[in-house]
Amino acid sequence: MLTRFHQLDNVNGLREFVQLTLSEHYQLQIGAFHMTERILIRSGKPCGIYFCLHGPRAMKFSAIWETDRNQVLFYGSAGERFLKTQLSDPPELEAAAA
């Protein structure tokens, strides 16, 4: 599994980064498939974001940004992790939760 380092300014940049990374990894046309997201909550506080790219033939590719370690974990349709990206500065999660 590969580990990369990346710098993002905000949650919108995180969304774009996740969609671009998943699309490029699976050779999908960027922006052609719908992506959903959910704020993850632990003990009543936001602790990350779950992203899901809904690809062709009902395949789903996902990524999770976890705030504790400030990293994004990317998963394939079978649940295998294929990439871990360490973010240098965390985006503001409260802005995404509003």
Per-residue model confidence as pLDDT tens digits over 70-90: 999 999 999 999 999 999 877
State pTM to two decimals.
0.86
Identify the pLDDT of residue 1.
56
On average, the pLDDT of the chain sits at 89
Percent of the chain past pLDDT 70, that is, above it, reads: 91
Sorted by sequence, the CB contacts under 8 Å of residue 61 that are 6+ apart come out as: 22, 25, 26, 52, 53, 55, 74, 75, 76, 77
Cα dihedral sign for 26, 31, 32, 36? positive
Q: Which of these ranges, 2-11, 12-21, 78-87, has the smallest mean pLDDT?
A: 2-11
Domain region containing 40: 2-97
Q: Please count the structural domains in the chain.
A: 1
Side chain identity at residue 32, one-letter code: A
Identify the pLDDT of residue 2.
60
How many whole angstroms separate alpha carbon 69 and alpha carbon 25? 23
